[in-house]
Structure 1
Amino acid sequence: MLLKRTLLNSAIVGLLATASGAASADLSSRYSDNDGDLLADIPADASEQVDPDTLIFAYTPVEDPAVYADVWSDFLDHLSEATGKDVQFFPVQSNAAQQEALRAGRLHVAGFNTGGVPVAVNCGGFRPFAMMAAEDGSFGYEMEIITYPGSGIESVEDLEGRQLAFTSETSNSGFRAPSALLRSEYDMEAGEDFETAFSGSHDNSVLGVVNEDYEAAAIANSVARRMLARGVVEEGDYEVVYTSQTFPTTAYGLAHNLDPELAEDIQDAFFSYDWEGTALEEEFANSGEAQFIPITYQENWEVIRTIADANGVTYDCD
């Protein structure tokens, strides 16, 4: 097995540097950004703010949403107590469904996958404020390209003429980062040098490789580690042929138009939550996470915005 790691200041940096420039908001015309933080402002007019009786929470799409309804249940009870609101878990089936629910005002609190955060920010008014981290404050995951044993794929170069599965076009590790990497470092274009498929989620991509439905797949290794810990897949079911730099993980945040006091209560709930002995701790300890830490979109998502720019991503939300 060949394991190769790259850092931002290695081969991919040349492409990313050409796309990186002064930060500017790409927000839909529905929103304003008067403070320059790249996020939709909270409406100044109280009549445009919402204070729902029931808060709707959604976690980024996974292979079995029912599992994560249980994982999040204790936290959502805590959120309910902190806000005085009923809280409902919304089991989204796809990234597109989660994004549309936010845009339509049906989603109030959410965790969006890394690559989906800029879409949610620009098209749905998402205001991210938290991310999971380890006890020491470290955070992140790596993009990995995996294959099944005996596939004949032992290096990235071996993908030529083969099939590589992505998750969705909004995913960082499941599409944008590997696309930029393959183009810049290996001069390989999807649809020309290798065939593609879209699985819909990292779980599906891992299972697709293990079951030999896909020859290879680009995944977030944090998802794979949790699947290994739950016994969904076993060590040796797949092999890693590439590991990337570290990226920020799922961002948690709010709809931009929530009542400011409610928004503050929700944020306080994340940072006051005691993970010890909970299903959340049991699940996310498998990827080294043990707390929520504060983040800013402007700083923590800079590399993700740069990768999106390198892939020519635009936000035509209107």
Structure 2
Amino acid sequence: MKRLSALFRPLALCLSLISASSTFAAQPLTVGLIPAEDSQAMLENSKKVIDSLQEQLGMPVKPFIATDYNGIIEALRSKKLDVAYLGPFSYVLATSIANVEAFSVAETKKTGKSSYKSLIIVRKDSGIETVPQLKGHTMAFVDPSSASGHLFPTAGLQKQGIEPSKYFSRVIFSGSHDASILAVANKKVDAAAVADRIFAAAVAKGIIKQADFNIVWTSPDIPESPMVWRKDLDPELKKKIATAFANIKNVEWGDQGVLNGFVPTNDAAYNVVRDTAKILNLDLKAMK
């Protein structure tokens, strides 16, 4: 009997490994997406990236879109998400309350860079051409945690001695860059702070016409929105995820347009965002 047991032990071990592998493959990888656009558009525009990940990893990949940035951060903190696409500032906020780190960032074919800018836009027929002319007008930001849709433009305005809450007659948070652009286009607000690539995407889609707008302020370069993962993910799974993202090239991804690919990044790349938070005297943990 002992001899038979010894003979069957390798077979039992093999079956155990197969079973474990099958279980691992059957578990979905959950990926959170920031609400840069409306939920349905975000899902449709991320489909090629999600499909590529699923094919390369050999496991289901389940996308998740929250109604705001904090929804994604909370899902990471509570381990309901494995990987997420976050804005630069929402990433810095996430690192203060969740066990996450940036590992990859998209490089767009259009710019060949992994950075972008914030714009303050107005309707051309408003007659506004400079920041000083915005005084007493209405302003739309995207989300309190949005880098290009709130924090960088606020820091830029403060450098000019402008406190938005006192300078504008009314300030709103629209919830998405698209909503802010349309708010200006439809004369719901006089000005809005948005990401340059999302504004360009709206022009390319024919949603708005470039000629109908003036750009009255442009930010310095902002590090592109990173892909982040929970630090406690299995190391082997992390390697597979990083390799899978590195292999995603020449596909369209939402407002990013066609990608050159995803390139490695790290936490230190977002220190410029932390520095901006210091300019604004922000308590990151208090913003959750």
Flag whether TM exceeds 0.5 (same fold).
yes
AA matched with 1:167: V
2:184 alignment partner in structure 1: 209
1:136-158 per-position Cα deviation (integer Å, ceiling 9, x unaligned): 85221111110112223221011
Aligned to 1:296: 266
Q: Give the number of the structure whose alpha-carbon radius of gyration is greater.
A: 2
TM-score (norm 2): 0.84
Hey, what does 1:165 align to over in structure 2? 140
Deviating 4+ runs (over 4 angstroms): none
1:144 matched residue in structure 2? 119
Q: Which residue of 2 aligns with 1:90?
A: 64
Aligned to 1:15: none
Q: Which of 172, 179, 199 matches 2:174?
A: 199
> Of the candidates 246, 263, 280, which is equivalent to residue 311 of structure 1?
280
Change (3 A) 1:219 1:252: same
**Matches of 1:102 and 1:238, distance apart in 2:** 38
Pick from 35, 42, 45: which aligns with 1:71? 45
Contact 1:131 1:295 survives alignment (8 Å): yes
Residues 197-234 of structure 1 deviation map (CA, whole Å, 9 limit, x = unaligned): 11111111111111111110111111111121122222
Q: Contact 1:284–1:290 at 8 Å: present in 2 too?
A: no
Instruction: Find the aligned partners of 1:138 and 1:121 in 2 and give their Cα distance.
Output: 24
Tell me the CA shift for residue 125 of structure 1.
Answer: 1.9
Please give the alpha-carbon distance, in whole angstroms, between the structure 2 residues aligned to 1:264 and 1:193. 49
Distance in 1 separating the partners of 2:102 and 2:151: 20
TM-superposed deviation, 1:283:
5.7
Give the distance between the partners of 2:42 and 2:229, measured in 1 at CA: 19
Mapped to 2, the partners of 1:248 and 1:203 lie a distance apart of: 20
Secondary structure, counterpart of 1:150 in structure 2 = helix
SS of alignment partner, residue 257 of structure 1:
coil
Tell which has more relative contact order, 1 or 2 (C-alpha 8 A, sep 6+): 1
Is this contact kept in 2: 1:137–1:293, CA < 8 A? no
- Which one has the bigger helix percentage? 2
Contact 2:247–2:261 (Cα < 8 Å) also in 1: no
Kept after mapping to 1: 8 A contact 2:112/2:260: no
Aligned-partner Cα distance in 2 for 1:209–1:103: 35
Other structure's SS at 2:210 match: coil
Between the aligned residues of both structures, percent identity stands at 28
* Residue 70 of structure 2 is aligned to residue 100 of structure 1: no
Query: Aligned equivalents of 2:151 and 2:46: distance in 1?
Result: 28
Q: Match of 2:257?
A: 285
Q: Distance in 2 between matches of 1:167 and 1:285?
A: 21
Q: Tell which deviates more after alignment, 191-200 or 78-87.
A: 78-87
Q: Is the 8 A contact 2:85 2:227 kept in 1?
A: yes
Could you state the TM-score of these two structures normalised by the residue count of structure 1?
Answer: 0.76
* Alignment gaps of 5+ in structure 1: 1-50
1:46 matched to which residue of 2?
Answer: none
Compute the displacement of 1:259 (Å). Answer: 1.0
Unpaired stretches in structure 2, ≥5 consecutive residues: 1-23
The amino acid of 1:268's aligned partner reads: T
Q: Report the CA distance between 1:279 and its aligned residue.
A: 4.0
